[in-house]
Amino acid sequence: MTIPTRILFVGATGSIGRLAIDEALRQGYHVRALVRDAAQAGLPDEVELAVGDLTRLETFETALDGIDGIVFTQGSHASAAMVEAVDYGAVRNALLALHGRKVRIALMTAIGVTYMDSQYNRTIEAHDWKRRSERLVRASGNEYTIVRPGWFDYNDDDQLRITFLQGDTRRNASPEDGVVARRQIARVLIDALGCDEAANTTLELVAEHGAEQEDLKPLFAALERDPSDGIDGVLDEDNFPLSAQPERVLDDFKAVELVR
């Protein structure tokens, strides 16, 4: 197991990224944040800043120097092109910039990412690109945890019991699929980094009524691990064939596998 100590945060200034950084600092990690503008970042003084553009491969060549863990919380809702460049492209760029060096990865995507009939997904292909980013991580040979959170901060005050699901079977494209606090998403991402039981797992994260657990290791230990020879989550529906993927995506898979 790779136990990281120096973490690069991609999506550092977003609502989840900031909370994840706070949690990482609380747990004693050295934190480096990839930001576009150091003057506008507004992050704690303890955070090392790496200034760059996550859509550019060369940014990661320097941002990853000395790093042994990556937390991805970036996301775009602007257009299909931006979703590809941000949600997927940043993951691809980081993996290629590692040149085969291994790190521990925590990747946030979304509940319902495998749901092919979602109107939102079909509009800007958001979930398609998130799912492709998951596949790149699985194919890369790095240890990882992929977290698919439910709807942010729709939970009731007494709805704090962290719950892990697998198979991505909740498909209402609404908060009926599950809700969870942003703070809890951040906690799960950071707890996963140093947890052997979390390695090479994919989970949906929601909160049920009840108190939040002090220790998440039993939850991680109860998960089924993803198959070592596959590119999808262990219980995911087989509804996104490689033969239907854009040629540029297939090229990215080959490039990532060559440096693994």
Per-residue pLDDT of 206-257, as tens digits, reads 999 999 999 999 999 999 999 998 999 999 999 999 998 999 999 999 999 8
Task: Using the predicted structure, report yes or no on whether residue 125 has a pLDDT greater than 90.
Answer: no
AA letter at 37? D
Q: What is the CATH number of the domain that holds 96?
A: 3.40.50.720
Asked, for residue 34, whether it belongs to a domain, the answer is: yes
Asked, for residue 126, whether it belongs to a domain, the answer is: yes
Share of the chain above pLDDT 70, in %: 97
Check: pTM over 0.85? Answer yes or no.
Answer: yes
Asked, for residue 121, whether it belongs to a domain, the answer is: yes
C-alpha–C-alpha distance, residues 151 and 246, integer Å: 29
Q: What is the pLDDT of residue 172?
A: 86
The structure tokens listed for 82 are 């931006």
Asked, for residue 1, whether it belongs to a domain, the answer is: no
C-alpha–C-alpha distance, residues 148 and 217, integer Å: 18
Asked, for residue 133, whether it belongs to a domain, the answer is: yes
Asked, for residue 202, whether it belongs to a domain, the answer is: yes
Q: What is the pLDDT of residue 173?
A: 85
| Helical packing angle, 182-193 and 15-26, nearest 10° | 50
Asked, for residue 166, whether it belongs to a domain, the answer is: yes
C-alpha–C-alpha distance, residues 50 and 81, integer Å: 24
Number of residues assigned to the chain:
260
Q: Which structural domain range is residue 29 located in?
A: 6-258
Q: What is the pLDDT of residue 122?
A: 54
How many domains does the chain divide into?
Answer: 1
What pLDDT, in 10s, does the model give residues 171-206? 888 999 999 999 999 999 999 999 999 999 999 999
Go through 101-136 and write b for each residue having 16 or more CB atoms within 10 A of its CB, e for each that does not.
Answer: eebbbbbbbbbbbbbeebeebeebbbbbbbbbbbbb
